[in-house]
Amino acid sequence: MSLNTFGHLFRVTTWGESHGPALGCTVDGCPPGVPIEAAAIQHWLDRRKPGQSKYTTQRREADEVRILSGVYEGLSTGTPIQLMIENTDQRSKDYGDIAQTFRPGHADITYWQKYGIRDPRGGGRSSARETAARVAAGGVARAALAVLLPGLRISGYMVQMGPRPIDRSRFDAAEIERNPFWAPDARAAADWAEELDALRKSGNSVGAVIEVVASGVPAGLGAPIYGKLDSDLAAAMMSINAVKGVEIGEGMAAAALTGVENADEIEMGNDGPRFLSNHAGGILGGISSGQDVVVRFAVKPTSSILSPRRSITLAGAETEVVTKGRHDPCVGIRAVPVGEAMMACVILDHLLLDRGQTGGTRGRIG
Amino acid sequence: MSLNTFGHLFRVTTWGESHGPALGCTVDGCPPGVPIEAAAIQHWLDRRKPGQSKYTTQRREADEVRILSGVYEGLSTGTPIQLMIENTDQRSKDYGDIAQTFRPGHADITYWQKYGIRDPRGGGRSSARETAARVAAGGVARAALAVLLPGLRISGYMVQMGPRPIDRSRFDAAEIERNPFWAPDARAAADWAEELDALRKSGNSVGAVIEVVASGVPAGLGAPIYGKLDSDLAAAMMSINAVKGVEIGEGMAAAALTGVENADEIEMGNDGPRFLSNHAGGILGGISSGQDVVVRFAVKPTSSILSPRRSITLAGAETEVVTKGRHDPCVGIRAVPVGEAMMACVILDHLLLDRGQTGGTRGRIG
Amino acid sequence: MSLNTFGHLFRVTTWGESHGPALGCTVDGCPPGVPIEAAAIQHWLDRRKPGQSKYTTQRREADEVRILSGVYEGLSTGTPIQLMIENTDQRSKDYGDIAQTFRPGHADITYWQKYGIRDPRGGGRSSARETAARVAAGGVARAALAVLLPGLRISGYMVQMGPRPIDRSRFDAAEIERNPFWAPDARAAADWAEELDALRKSGNSVGAVIEVVASGVPAGLGAPIYGKLDSDLAAAMMSINAVKGVEIGEGMAAAALTGVENADEIEMGNDGPRFLSNHAGGILGGISSGQDVVVRFAVKPTSSILSPRRSITLAGAETEVVTKGRHDPCVGIRAVPVGEAMMACVILDHLLLDRGQTGGTRGRIG
Amino acid sequence: MSLNTFGHLFRVTTWGESHGPALGCTVDGCPPGVPIEAAAIQHWLDRRKPGQSKYTTQRREADEVRILSGVYEGLSTGTPIQLMIENTDQRSKDYGDIAQTFRPGHADITYWQKYGIRDPRGGGRSSARETAARVAAGGVARAALAVLLPGLRISGYMVQMGPRPIDRSRFDAAEIERNPFWAPDARAAADWAEELDALRKSGNSVGAVIEVVASGVPAGLGAPIYGKLDSDLAAAMMSINAVKGVEIGEGMAAAALTGVENADEIEMGNDGPRFLSNHAGGILGGISSGQDVVVRFAVKPTSSILSPRRSITLAGAETEVVTKGRHDPCVGIRAVPVGEAMMACVILDHLLLDRGQTGGTRGRIG
């Protein structure tokens, strides 16, 4: 990762500010001959699009993606794919005061401290709007993975909103697409809806935990020691706006386990090793084991809220900040497709890296 | 991060296996003119060295570091610094069976799957022994930071062993160096000692949570969007053996907070902004705010245990694995100096990156 | 350099094909607070623009650059600067046959061999049109250099066309802007005009040598051993379409010199060392010496010519290729501003790298 | 390339100074399962070793390589391979004056200017001794290529010493190993011997041109636009000490050709396209065509000579410098195996990169 680029061989560079004329990404290193259609990428963008329920920002963005390069007659050519999304709804008047004050919990102040200049319109580069570009890049990654790893499935969902986790015993994958929270637990979704209504009305916001699972990842992706699959996933998820924690498998809870509990025992299945549990989250020593790759990340509550908070102005005066504008009361909701996109990009990148170094050969067991 | 290298401008490449003739690292990009002594690096290595209490592996390694390049008359020259540690205690007979079976929870199987070959002696490249090289590199980073950021303090300690966290109300920094757990809470250390004795005797192991805090980090380190300070810290910590989760500030707990609670309010201090809380862990939008940078990571329990676990052999036969040898019952203990070293490396790297791009200029407030 | 990106800290990623909807570049790592105007970048693009004399392709491209991100109220913000140029003149019918045959000397065949797919319209990604994006990026680099190194001057010019070099004794910098060849020798320009007319009419083309000189480069830019200033310049110039050779200072002619002749003797000037000659081209051991940095590169003749050449078709049939369309008879002419742009980018990148590592401190002499 | 590292997937980081305790390299990204023996690497080092004829420095170095990691039971494991060469002959007294004066034409002054410190013993990091590490890395690359591209042949030789080129009509590959100049023209070797004797006795030195040819490179290696095979070769060769120019195929002479002359016509051979000439040097659009890859580079004369040259001291006083010590009168001779090693590393790196992105699939012709 290097400033605005991530990935080793499949490399994505995003650009653009919340209220500039456009934003987008350059996807470099995509394998050639992959069917890429704007409509397919649009599908993923639409899942992330604001204004789809009362629980997300009412900002209306068409978020229409255009493919400007790297695709010829519907197929990737192996050259950089430029994906551009024009910003169409830029009510920057909403943000007038923002230029002179720093929102507590927001990157306003650190951008100013670092650069001595910042684009205050809609948070500029630090806006969650940047994640649209990642989702578009993820659409390209998914298209390539559909060719290279047809058995791969990536599924993201919310497992906690505020202090309330889902009940894993009620986990129902079919529920995920049925509620505005991408919750696999219908009852949790209903509870969250009620709670979020109340929070929104009181000018408050709340955090969330997202889980993203990739099934069908072959054993052998990742690399020691700093190119570990989990290191790259951690960096990828932590780079998403407002993320404060990342877990693989048991995550922080691994601390509380004993070695006897934590060891995922192995038996021999019909087509290779079979693990009896998945505390590891599908990654051992930085390398995928063939089990589901399981990542979770925590998204803090939106810092742009209507409740007044103490802060200071550019001139150093103390003040109270109330952030108007159209903000997500739980920005974690829209982080679900973003987390999926990052998972897709990282897995594709490691798939290419692995076949680069090893040629895809594998050690035989049995 | 790229396979065995991490860092952007201050780049560390580690090499070596647990039971090979030596291991070490190449530190590239160190500023010139920094006083570097083997003795000072040795100081940090000695903190990580095995065999110092009954709670760490009884493997005896001198872990003596030699500086082979990049230092002239006690000062860094700006060229690569090679730090080598010879392996002196390689009782590889302890690991005889290991070559034919896969320890559950260990990278044995994934290395084999990926490469079709593995060095089974002591875990080879996947051994925690690799972290000695990081600690050595961290010693160089600290030496450079002592010149460039004399006010910086990095402090690591254990905040949880197994299911038992420290009591933050008893936090006493002076305790950290007084017990074998680097615990800032004497009572917790005593409890852990008792628990770990029992676990060790029963052939079991346990996980832990480590916290590393850097004080005196100036505002402005880090970068949008994929070169975020927290992204790089997450990758750095996740790259340490056995780490399964990384948190910045509130970490996973941020999910449970509301925006009102989470916002770190700001007032004007004598020498700039002053935050009234630090839920953010010192990083906003990927850029340091001048507050303490707070990172936590969870270390899973050692998978090399004496308790039998079901597994398979290379030939695909089912078996039970009991790992003899001299293993840490709580590998988290020795991860403390490793986490500190990674913090030092990441902060120096971002300090150099920042002065590269911005020249160190800062936006004025007040 | 990494596929479509070059630079370490000042990183440029170009994208786009000759006949796609647009092309452009993402400039990452620009220092903040630099005045950036589209008009200033346009100035440099206009120098490269086709159709300005009968010696360059008659393709008419507005080549109008738009700044889509990274600039706020006329100043760079430190975030990625996206520069887009829409393609307005895409007479792709000119290229109909090209899709089925391979032009000798052209990348048609290797793109096909590598990717199994290619965008044949106007050469796709391999078109010299890609260099417009570099020139735009160079415009940003120059803007930053104007702030950071106000004494820097970059000057490119043609020193040879076909077998005819300029006469260095007639070197007149003022001539460079006065003739369509950027020749510093008016008589050479006149000769070349005559020769090129004849070549063009006969359906032929010719090569050229370009020299780019940077004056006012401070001592100390560059780095051992693989981040040498000359290594990066060599890669940068060799990456320009049709370039087959790169020289620093004496270049290939250095082979013919003795050590006595080649040594640039040094005396003490008023403000530091003064060299009595510049065989080294301003770079010693990969690091700038404070003298003029002198680079030359050879551009091969355009391979798209009207003279029939033997070739094969996609189906493997032998054929003769005659390339119609609007091609430069001496593509070296338009490479002059491209070489200047690459010089600007490389120098800025190394300036940032150097202040990152060393903080810009310098060893004192005298 | 990044300071002391080169390569994308097959990455080599060299370290060490001329007169420090040791030097070496870390080779990261080597495919697993490659037979690697110290003796085979030693073979290549021995070709570069000083003191083998009166035409190279009389410094006696055993240059014995040790493999410290990454190889298990004679096979690469996919983890970093550390190759170390201890410095055994460090007569640093020879270099006493050097610390206070700057040799004209040498990196003494620029290292000092950049870093404010330098290791003066034997040129420190800027010594050609660093190239031993490259040759060792090249030995690993060759071992991997022997597995992956068994038909590959890399051959380097001198084609010019001082002003005297070989006569290509007398080219005899068998001669290369028979004379101390690696000259494929016996008569040129005899002439050079005479000339170099005279130069050496007069305390002078001379430059040279080296050509390195790789046969059996498959079509499709390389990448647009900044990851071109020729860009990487140019950077690789230019990074060798004393190199001032790099050419691919016709090189600088391409400028003098017309498009008709330069176009390498194509016909259909039994197993694919066959080119009727190779002006391109095997690379079109940055991608290999399947023809021989041909690179040439010019090495300037050694600047460490016995003839007095005007210079200055650290204190700024003017002086005359006479460099005693044991220096190569034509450092180009020993650059031959170094150029071969760089070719091997670059080709392997691009082979891995290509199979990473494309999986090694190829477009069909015929």
Q: pLDDT tens digit string along D204-261?
A: 999 999 999 999 999 999 998 999 999 999 999 999 999 999 999 999 999 999 999 9
Q: Is some CB atom of chain B closer than 8 A to the CB atom of A318? A: yes
DSSP 3-state of B195:
helix
Chain A residues whose CB is inside 8 A of the D7 CB are none
Q: Is the pLDDT of residue B204 over 80?
A: yes
Show the low-confidence residues of chain C (pLDDT under 50).
none
Rounded to a whole number of angstroms, the distance between the first and last alpha carbons of chain C is 38
> What pLDDT is stored for residue C361 in this prediction?
83
> What pLDDT is stored for residue C304 in this prediction?
85
Q: How far apart are CA A207 and CA D350, in angstroms?
A: 45
Q: How far apart are CA D319 and CA D308, in angstroms?
A: 10
Q: How far apart are CA C319 and CA C306, in angstroms?
A: 14
Of B79, B356, B361, the CB nearest to C356: B356
Pairwise CB contact (< 8 Å): A358 & D31 = yes
Strand locations in chain A, DSSP E? 5-6, 11-16, 22-28, 65-67, 71-72, 75-76, 81-86, 153-161, 164-165, 208-215, 243-248, 266-269, 272-275, 283-284, 287-288, 293-299, 309-312, 318-321
Q: Which residue has the higher pLDDT, C71 or B323?
A: C71
- Pull the structure tokens for residue D217: 């490179």
Mean pLDDT score of chain B: 93
Cβ count within 10 A of residue B174: 8
Q: How far apart are CA B124 and CA D249, in angstroms?
A: 45
For the segment D67-81, the average pLDDT, to the nearest whole number, is 97
Q: How far apart are CA D311 and CA C352, in angstroms?
A: 30
> What pLDDT is stored for residue A122 in this prediction?
84
Q: How far apart are CA A66 and CA B266, in angstroms?
A: 41
> What pLDDT is stored for residue B60 in this prediction?
67
Chains interfacing with B (3 or more CB pairs < 8 Å): A, C, D
Q: Which of C266, C269, C268 is nearest to D309 (CA)?
A: C266
Show the low-confidence residues of chain A (pLDDT under 70).
1, 58-61, 89-96, 326
Q: How far apart are CA C34 and CA C44, in angstroms?
A: 17
DSSP 3-state of D59:
coil
> What pLDDT is stored for residue C59 in this prediction?
66
C-beta of residue D61 within 8 angstroms of C-beta of residue D89: yes
> What pLDDT is stored for residue A62 in this prediction?
78
The amino acid that residue A6 corresponds to is F
Q: Which of A187-196, B61-70, B227-236 has the lowest mean pLDDT?
A: B61-70
Q: How far apart are CA C96 and CA B323, in angstroms?
A: 69
- Pull the structure tokens for residue B342: 């990674």
For testing the chain D interface, which of C114, C119, C319 should be mutated: the one with the most D CBs within 10 Å? Answer: C114
- In this structure, what DSSP letter does residue C101 have? B
Q: Which residue of C has its CA nearest to D303?
A: C259
Q: Which of D329, D295, D48, D278 is nearest to D182 (CA)?
A: D48
Q: Which of A238, A211, A210, A191 is nearest to A294 (CA)?
A: A211
Pairwise CB contact (< 8 Å): B78 & D114 = yes
For the segment D17-31, the average pLDDT, to the nearest whole number, is 96
Q: How far apart are CA D279 and CA C294, in angstroms?
A: 26
Chain C residues whose CB is inside 8 A of the A15 CB are 26, 28, 68-70, 79-82
Phi then psi for B325, rounded to 5 degrees?
A: 95, 180
Helices D332-358 and A332-358 cross at an angle (nearest 10°) of: 130
**Residues near C64 by Cβ (< 8 Å), separated by ≥ 6?**
C42, C85, C86
**Residues near C104 by Cβ (< 8 Å), separated by ≥ 6?**
C303, C309, C310, C311, C321, D263, D264, D265, D266
The amino acid that residue D214 corresponds to is A
Of C13, C72, C117, the CB nearest to A72: C117
DSSP 3-state of C301:
coil
Q: Is some CB atom of chain A closer than 8 A to the CB atom of D358? A: yes
C-beta of residue D340 within 8 angstroms of C-beta of residue D293: no
Run of H or E residues at B350: helix B332-358
Q: Is some CB atom of chain B closer than 8 A to the CB atom of A109? A: yes
Q: Is the pLDDT of residue B320 over 80?
A: yes
Q: Is the pLDDT of residue B209 over 90?
A: yes
> What pLDDT is stored for residue C92 in this prediction?
53
> What pLDDT is stored for residue C154 in this prediction?
98
- Pull the structure tokens for residue B139: 């010693």
Helices A332-358 and A229-238 cross at an angle (nearest 10°) of: 150
Q: Is some CB atom of chain A closer than 8 A to the CB atom of D69? A: no
Interface of D with C in 115-154 (CB under 8 A): 115-118, 125-126, 130
Q: Is the pLDDT of residue D92 over 60?
A: no
Residues in chain B, total = 366
C-beta of residue D92 within 8 angstroms of C-beta of residue C339: no
Helices B38-48 and B332-358 cross at an angle (nearest 10°) of: 140
C-beta of residue C143 within 8 angstroms of C-beta of residue C36: yes
> What pLDDT is stored for residue C153 in this prediction?
98
Q: Which residues pair with B58 in a beta bridge?
A: none
Pairwise CB contact (< 8 Å): A356 & D356 = yes
Pairwise CB contact (< 8 Å): A79 & C21 = no
Give Cα C8 to chain centroid, integer Å. 18
> What pLDDT is stored for residue B1 in this prediction?
54
CA distance D338 to chain B (A): 20
Buried b / exposed e along D183-220 (16+ C-beta atoms within 10 A): bbbeebbebbbebbeebbeebbbbbbbbbbbbeebbbb
Concatenated DSSP letters for D63-91?
--EEE-SSEETTEE-SSPEEEEEE-----
Buried b / exposed e along C175-213 (16+ C-beta atoms within 10 A): bbeebbbbbbbeebbebbbebbeebbeebbbbbbbbbbb
Confidence of residue B122 (pLDDT cuts 50, 70, 90): confident
> What pLDDT is stored for residue D362 in this prediction?
85
> What pLDDT is stored for residue A162 in this prediction?
97
> What pLDDT is stored for residue C49 in this prediction?
79
Q: Is some CB atom of chain A closer than 8 A to the CB atom of C33? A: yes
> What pLDDT is stored for residue B96 in this prediction?
63
Phi then psi for A236, rounded to 5 degrees?
A: -65, -45
Pairwise CB contact (< 8 Å): B77 & D32 = no
Helices B332-358 and B131-148 cross at an angle (nearest 10°) of: 40
Q: Is some CB atom of chain A closer than 8 A to the CB atom of C99? A: no
C-beta of residue B333 within 8 angstroms of C-beta of residue B208: yes
Run of H or E residues at C142: helix C131-148
Give residue for tokens 């000692």. B193
- Pull the structure tokens for residue D87: 């410095």
Of B224, B352, B361, the CB nearest to C357: B352
Confidence of residue B2 (pLDDT cuts 50, 70, 90): confident
C-beta of residue D268 within 8 angstroms of C-beta of residue D366: yes
> What pLDDT is stored for residue B47 in this prediction?
86
For the segment D88-114, the average pLDDT, to the nearest whole number, is 81
Concatenated DSSP letters for D117-171?
----GGGGGGSGGGHHHHHHHHHHHHHHHHHH-TT-EEEEEEEEETTEE--GGG-
Share of chain B above pLDDT 70, in %: 96
